[in-house]
A and B are shown apart, each in its own frame.
Chain A
Amino acid sequence: MSTFVSEFKTRATEKSGDLRHRQFIRTALRGYEAARDKRKGAFQSWEAARQAAAETKWEAVNHLDTHLEALVAKLEARGTKVHWASTGAQAREIIAKILREKNARCIIKSKAMTSEEIHLNDALEKEGFTVVESDLGEFIVQLRHETPYHIVFPSMHLTRGEIRDLFQKEIGDAPSDSPEDLTMVARRVMRQKYITADVGFTGANFAIAETGMISITENEGNSRLTSALPKTMITLIGIEKVLPRFADLALFLPMLATAGAGQPMTCYNTMYSGPRQPGECDGPEEWHVVLLDNRRTELLADAEQRDSLHCIRCGACLNVCPIFRNVGGHTYGTTYSGPVGAVITPHLRGLQDWKHLSNASSLCGACTEACPVKIDLHHHLLQNRRNASASEPAFFEKLAYQLFGIVANEPKFWSLAKKIGWLTQPLQRAVKGSALDPAKAWTKTRDLPPMPQETFKDWWRNRK
């Protein structure tokens, strides 16, 4: 068993037993669900919109080379510097090099899961740069030296009391535990940082091929400020984020808001087509866009699961996933959690090391139902399991299924197996739940059903 899997199981055990945490997350997500259902209901046809979104993303991803070339040509024509990074290490180096060339000291960031993916902050801080997360949730987890708990709501696991204590300890400023007061603390801290930062860093939600734009969705306005004030702006974006047309945003922006946050529209949806242009009075003099592969092309090559690159990172699948709700985002131990994380992490980080994320699911399918772009998430989990077992079968598990195969469809063996089960029930009850119990994975927390003496097949046979 790799350490990743044993760590996952340890964390999962701890978190699923943490009733306070479970209840807190449930309460948070109940509010989201009510809002989401209301917004979905406002659509004249949410299902038709999903199908159109699925088709648009299919068009984008299945012609990815053409769209990327169009995007880059348009960006470069207006003065944007575009960089291509095959790996996270290359992306980090590209970004660090820009900072060095600009003699930058402080970089202000708006939320970017890709930057978490490539562990950018650590790398930049080791080189001596000051990195400030401006998104409130990211700011909070940065102070805690934690990774984001959820791809959309980074600090949803924390109570106001915990945040107040954190601000008191790290900033020395926490007038109360009211969300309003705490938010204003963060606002105050950030004001001068926007104005004095040397470099602004953003992620991106979409890249528009037709018009050469990067589209960023946010509620707080911190990304708007990060993109307005510093002299140099850097945007990191996964290559799969492409949409073919400007007009596609009319569908995707409200769907992202609805599925992701239960909002009709997120507060700021901003499209950038270049650095400051002639005649404009502000904006960065230089804009660097870094296109990140980092094994996305491997996922692209898996045609069966290619649609997982359609993901718009809305977080809807996390919100509905009973596994996520019970173990929380940190248990996954990787950047992308929830169902989409369980699907793509084995591709992005290694199948054998991360297949346990695909195994840790009851395959309920709530994720597939919730996905606004109709990614076949829960079936991809099954496919990951198939691929993992095919390349490295687990010896005893495979043997058990082979034996089961012999027993199940040979009536004499099947009858015998049932009889043995019925006879050994008293023995099992004696060791129930203990280390001796072969069924202890079950019986630690659950009773086994009693086996009746007459099975269905017995009854059927006696009938005749």
Chain B
Amino acid sequence: MTVTLFIPCFVDALYPRAGISMVEILERVGHRVVCPEEIACCGQPPFNSGYHAEARTIATPVLEKLADAEAIVIGSGSCGAMVKKFYPELFAGTRHAELAKQVAARTWEFSDFLVSKLGVTDIGAKFPHKVTFHDGCHGLRELGIQKQPRALLANVRELELVEMPEVSCCGFGGTFAAKFPMISTAMGEVKCASAAETGAEYIVSSDSSCLMHIQGLLSRQGKPTKTISLAEVLNAR
């Protein structure tokens, strides 16, 4: 099938390798990938701060560009939640209400698409490292993404997965990270300590925004733990 891959703004600008990995993986499992060049952002930042009109301004071209897509895959849990869970609410009562529901119904987060839609859990990856997995909250609680990444990691050769002792928010939270930096940092420190308890070399996540925040703290603290997107791990050979 033709998969329309929407690479969100910060993945595009800051973590292109995550996006590139997704393209390569989807092609390897036999699908044609298109990446619409005209759209860059799902509109979550204004939506999260309560500015719905501004969010719609950003999201409307996204909706229109995705209107005819056969299957839409989004390269991040939080942006996936925005399109799948919040677009219907954002566009309720507007002329795009129905389209928003339809696009939402055809949207998947990347790991969910592989496992739940395509039934693929083994992409022939090899990543000989000890890793721990961070569940981004939007993916986890809005989209129910938890088993899918682990099903994929289970088939990555020579990878050892150690779970963190607790599930907790990394503290990024979008604009929250800038508006309440002290709380955001404290939450991130708790997450980093939790990851350190596992002894993992890498923290893996489906959400690059979480990783941006966690890596930012690790680097500032001079910690050796590295962060990497799930897609890059799955694309490693």
Residues of A within 8 A of B (CB): 9, 12-13, 16-17, 22, 26, 33, 322-323, 325-327, 359-366, 368-369, 382, 384-390, 393, 397-398, 401-402, 404-405, 408-409, 411, 414, 418, 421, 441-442, 444-449, 451-452, 454-461
Contact = CB atoms under 8 A, between A and B. Distances in A.
B58 A445 contact: no
Interface residues of B, number: 64
B181 A397 contact: no
B54 interface: yes
Interface in B185-218: 185-188, 190, 212-213, 215-217
B169 interface: yes
B54 A322 contact: no
B185 A401 contact: no
A382 B55 CA distance: 13
Instruction: Label chain B's interface by main secondary structure.
Output: helix
Contacts of A460: 23, 35, 37
A442 B185 CA distance: 9
Nearest to A422: B13
B59 to A, nearest CB: 9
B161 to A, nearest CB: 22
Contacts of A368: 141
A456 B20 contact: yes
Nearest to B219: A447
Given A386-B52, A447-B220, A404 B182 contact: no
Contacts of A451: 13-14
A388 to B, nearest CB: 6
B50 interface: yes
Instruction: Label chain A's interface by main secondary structure.
Output: helix
B48 interface: yes
A139 B112 CA distance: 52
12 contacts: A16-B183, A326-B186, A361-B173, A365-B141, A386-B50, A393-B51, A401-B55, A408-B9, A409-B39, A445-B185, A447-B220, A456-B19
Contacts, number: 190
Nearest to A432: B220
Interface string B163-183: 000101101111011111111
Given A408-B58, A451-B14, A446 B50 contact: no
A310 B213 CA distance: 35
A365 B143 CA distance: 12
Contacts of A389: 49-52
A219 to B, nearest CB: 26
A452 B14 contact: yes
B171 A362 contact: yes
B116 interface: no
